[in-house]
Amino acid sequence: MKLYKFKISGKTSVFKRSDQNGSNTYSYTLLTQQSLKGILGAIIGLKGYDNSGLSPLIMDQSLEFNEVFKNLKISIIPVFSEDNFMYYYNTRTNATGLANKKDAREGVSLLLREQWIVNVEYMVYLDVSLIEEKYREKLEHNLKNEEAEFIPYLGRREHFAKVYDFELVDGIKEEGKAFVCISTLPRADVNGVEQISKDSDDIIAFSEISPSSITPDFYHTFKEFVYTNQKVELNETDVEGQYYRVNEGTLCLY
């Protein structure tokens, strides 16, 4: 099977957690499934949150990229090194007087402390076989030529995303049930993990519950995803992801 492969990187990213709303905000550590669909939508010019009609004055209340990519299968591989995926806390001041009230007084400045993820890099694989041809062709053209209709960003528009190194690669169906998965994968697929590193300092084991899709009335649905450099054993049945071997190893498309 042919897969789209490309890289995404940025100096900073903020994928704000949706389960909080206060002066201290935190970010999902890794690129989420829903955010990646938004980036791809920006690349080919589909309507997103900023131009979706999320206003009482506009009747069209759809997220076009969500509909176009509803059958898209993706694989996200974080590229770790010593100086990336670091946490940074940025403090901003909102002095407009419109964002905070205190003791019935209006016009109080609001201090916002945000968690940023610094120096992020991902390798992404896509199975676009179920995407409508006109969108598939435009996506391939824009990825290949490093073009975008709208500026892609990593969570918010000041966190620019660089999308590059596109190529078409072959994926071969993985027949085994135990292997090292180089990408994130649904936690529900994993029956067990076997440690293969002799030194505990070499072990990476990470899990996060993050948005996987959004409903027509704009509620996120969530799944738990895991990433580890150890050998995983899949369930015998009820496996959500599709597992393929590429040059770098075995990955999960979900």
pLDDT tens digits, residue range 46-75? 987 655 444 443 444 568 898 999 999 999
pLDDT higher than 90, residue 107:
no
Decide which of 60 and 140 is more confident. 140
Predicted TM-score (pTM) of the model is 0.88
- What's residue 59's pLDDT? 41
Domain boundaries, the chain: 2-253
Range with top average pLDDT, 126-135, 212-221, 228-237? 126-135
Question: What does the alpha-carbon distance between residue 188 and residue 56 come to, in Å, rounded to a whole number?
Answer: 39
So what's the pLDDT on residue 58? 45
Residue with tokens 């649904």, as numbered in its chain:
186
Measured CA to CA, the distance from residue 159 to residue 6 in angstroms comes to 19
| HSE-CB for 169 with a 13 A CA cutoff | 19
Which CATH number applies to 2-253: 3.20.10.10, 1.10.3720.10, 3.30.70.2660, 3.10.105.10? 3.30.70.2660
